[in-house]
Amino acid sequence: MFKDTIEVVSTGLSIYELVNKSRPSLQRLVKRLRGGEAKIVVFGAGGTGKTTLGKMLAGESDPSILADYEESRTTEKFNFKREQSGIIIIPPGQGRRDDEWLAAFRQVSDGKFRIIINVVSYGYHSFREISYVSDKLYQQGMTVEEFVEIYTEKCRQKEINQLKEISTPIKMSKAVPTLMLTLVSKQDIWWQDRDVVTKHYSDSEYNNTIQEILSTRGTANFSHEYVSTSLIINGFTSGTGEPLKSIASDYSQPLQFANLAEVFKKIDEFCQ
Ligand SMILES: Nc1nc2c(ncn2[C@@H]2O[C@H](COP(=O)(O)OP(=O)(O)O)[C@@H](O)[C@H]2O)c(=O)[nH]1
Ligand SMILES: [Mg+2]
Edge-to-edge strands, sheet with 76-77 = 76-77, 87-89, 40-44, 115-120, 178-184, 222-228
Please report, in tens digits, the pLDDT of each residue of the chain (272 residues total).
888 876 544 555 566 566 555 456 677 777 788 777 778 999 999 999 998 998 888 776 554 555 556 777 777 776 554 445 688 888 886 655 678 788 889 999 999 899 999 999 999 999 888 999 999 999 999 999 999 999 999 999 999 999 999 999 999 999 999 999 999 999 999 999 999 999 999 999 999 999 999 999 999 999 999 999 999 999 999 999 999 999 999 998 888 888 888 898 899 888 87
Task: Report the number of distinct structural domains present in the chain.
Answer: 1
Domain CATH number, residue 178:
3.40.50.300
Whether residue 153 is contained in a domain is answered as yes
- CA 127 to ligand 2 center in whole angstroms: 11
Counting from 1 in the atom list of ligand 1, the atom nearest the Cα of 66 is 25
Whether residue 116 is contained in a domain is answered as yes
As residues whose CB is below 5 A from the ion ligand 2, the structure lists 50-51, 72
Whether residue 5 is contained in a domain is answered as no
- CA 218 to ligand 1 center in whole angstroms: 33
Ligand 1 binding pocket mutation candidate from 126, 155, 245 (most atoms within 8 A of CB): 126
The whole domain housing 172 covers 15-270
Counting from 1 in the atom list of ligand 1, the atom nearest the Cα of 185 is 27
- Which residues' Cβ are closer than 6 Å to ligand 1? 44, 46-52, 68-69, 72, 126, 185-186, 188-189, 230-232, 234-235
Whether residue 70 is contained in a domain is answered as yes
Q: What is the pTM of this model?
A: 0.92
Whether residue 75 is contained in a domain is answered as yes
